[in-house]
DNA sequence: AACGCGCCCTGTCCGC
DNA sequence: TGCGGACAGGGCGCGT
């Protein structure tokens, strides 16, 4: 569920509230959200008495750096939430999978209805190594048209599918992939390698724009997403095609259509995103 | 070896 | 009201 803007919002909310706090204890009601290499006991022993030094983001992952030196990476899957316990909405959580008890009686709660999320601990070196498997950061200086074009050239997958591959660009999920393709006027089924440099530059700009705007709006809440205080994001009304099948295209007013690519919905305007190759 | 598919799990909604 | 099926923002493992 959470993509880059949602992970970014959560990271900034948590940063303001838990940096400097120490973890005094850990409870793991649902072990299956821990990476398979962690038992609940070993996980608890590694985390307790650690101090949260920094909260950041890489792709869709919320990254907590701890002292003594250790990195806790949270991938929220579809329904994962990280909420501080003293937020008014914390009481509504019904599927708490991990509780990080903090000094002073507060807690950082990891809630996850579907339990598709994963929490994994790394050393700084291990995390650096693992990050080499993640692709470009869309909001970094390295994310320019040339870098994106070099990568799209190597794949014949439909561009919508390609954008979901975290090894290529990190942080894009189904919502923002579809929104960026609409803005760049590229049909979602176009093979990645069929895009010319001009299309790829438009796509790059569209991705940066939509992600920045969504961060500004604190993310998109369709159903489950909540920020670090348990509150929904505000970007949903600004979506132009995602979830708007049969609705009017905001550009030409024709009907938005849905198509299924690799078992996941793609939303597009058949008029504005016409450049489809025959299938 | 790039790519697509099924699956992990729970909840909601829609048609009958 | 109940029930079955489709669907949901992600990502892994598998087979081809």
C-alpha–C-alpha distance, residues A132 and A146, integer Å:
20
Read off the pLDDT of residues A167-210 as tens digits, 9 standing for 90 and up. 999 999 999 999 999 999 999 999 999 999 999 999 999 999 99
pLDDT digits (tens, 9 = 90+) for A142-151: 999 999 999 9
CA distance A22 to A101: 9
Residue A56 contacts residue A25 (beta carbons within 8 Å): no
* Cβ-contact A13, A55 below 8 angstroms: no
What is the C-alpha to C-alpha distance for residues A127 and A75, in angstroms, rounded to an integer? 14
Q: Which two tokens stand for residue A24?
A: 């005094």
Instruction: Tell me the CA–C1' distance in angstroms for A214 and B5.
Output: 31
Per the structure block, which two tokens stand in for A78?
A: 């579809």
Give a three-class secondary structure readout of chain A: CCCHHHHHHHHHHHHHHHCCCEEEEEECCCHHHECCCCCHHHHHHHHCCCEEEEEEEECCEEEEEEECCEEEEEECCCCEEEEECCCHHHHHCCCEEEEEEEHHHCEEEEEECCCCCEEEEECHHHHHHHHCCCCECCCCCCCCHHHHHHHHCCCCCEHHHHHCCCCCECCCCHHHHHHHHHHHCCCCCCEHHHCCHHHHHHHHHHHHHHHHHHHHCCCCCCCCCCCCCCCCCCCHHHCCCCCCCCCECCCCCCECEEEEECCEEEEECCCCCCCCCCC
Query: What distance in Å separates the CA atoms of residue A116 and residue A230, rounded to the nearest whole number?
Result: 19
pLDDT in tens, A17-63: 999 999 999 999 999 999 999 999 999 999 999 999 999 999 999 99
So what's the pLDDT on residue A170?
A: 98
pLDDT value at position A177? 98
Per-residue pLDDT at A33: 98
- Separation of alpha carbons A207 and A176, rounded Å: 7
* Location of structure tokens 């790829």: A200
CA A229 – CA A12 distance, rounded (Å): 11
- Given a contact cutoff of 8 angstroms between Cβ atoms, the answer to whether A8 and A62 are in contact is no
- Give the residue numbers of A marked as catalytic: 2-3, 60, 264
Phi/psi region, residue A237 (left: phi>0; alpha: psi -120 to 50; beta: rest), is alpha
pTM: 0.97
Token pair in block for residue A279: 């299938």
Per-residue pLDDT at A279 exceeds 90:
no
Minimum-distance residue to B6 (CA–C1')? A263
Distance (Å) from CA A139 to C1' B3?
28
pLDDT tens-digit series, residues A83-93 = 999 999 999 99
Average pLDDT of span A229-252: 97
What's the whole-number average pLDDT of chain A? 97
Enter the tokens of residue A36: 């398979």
Residues in chain A: 279
Query: Would you state the pLDDT for residue A275?
Result: 79
Q: Which of residues 174-213 of A touch strand B (CB under 7 A)?
A: 192
Nucleic acid strand B within 7 Å of A115 CB: yes
**What integer is the mean pLDDT of A123-150?**
98
Taking the stretch 138-157 of protein chain A, residues with Cβ within 7 Å of any atom in nucleic acid chain B are 155-157
The predicted model gives A123-129 an average pLDDT of 97
pLDDT over 90 for what percent of chain A?
98
| pLDDT beyond 80 at A64 | yes
Whether A140 shows a pLDDT value over 60: the answer reads yes
């Amino acid at each position: 569920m959470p993509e880059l803007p949602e992970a970014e919002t959560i990271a900034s909310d948590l940063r303001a509230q838990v940096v400097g706090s120490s973890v005094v204890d850990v409870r793991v009601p649902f072990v299956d959200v821990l990476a398979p290499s962690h038992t609940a006991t070993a996980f608890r022993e590694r985390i307790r008495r650690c101090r949260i030094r920094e909260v950041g983001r890489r792709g869709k992952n919320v990254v907590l750096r701890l002292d003594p030196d250790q990195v806790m990476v949270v991938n929220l899957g579809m329904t994962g939430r990280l909420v501080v316990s003293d937020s008014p909405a914390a009481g509504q959580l019904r599927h708490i999978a991990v509780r990080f008890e903090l000094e002073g009686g507060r807690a950082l709660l990891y809630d996850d209805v579907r339990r598709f999320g994963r929490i994994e601990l790394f050393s700084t070196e291990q995390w650096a190594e693992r990050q080499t498997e993640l692709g470009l950061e869309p909001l970094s200086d390295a994310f320019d048209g040339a870098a994106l074009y070099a990568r799209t050239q190597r794949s014949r997958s439909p561009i919508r599918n390609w954008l979901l591959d975290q090894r290529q660009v990190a942080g894009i999920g189904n919502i923002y992939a579809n929104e960026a393709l609409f803005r760049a006027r590229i049909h979602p089924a176009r093979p990645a390698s069929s895009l010319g440099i001009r299309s790829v530059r438009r796509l790059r700009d569209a991705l940066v724009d939509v992600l920045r705007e969504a961060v500004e709006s604190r993310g998109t809440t369709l159903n489950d997403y909540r920020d670090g205080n348990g509150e929904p994001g505000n970007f949903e009304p600004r979506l132009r095609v995602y979830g708007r099948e049969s609705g009017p295209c905001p550009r030409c007013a024709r009907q938005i259509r849905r198509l299924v690519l690799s078992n996941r919905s793609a939303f597009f305007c058949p008029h504005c995103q016409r450049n489809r190759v025959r299938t």
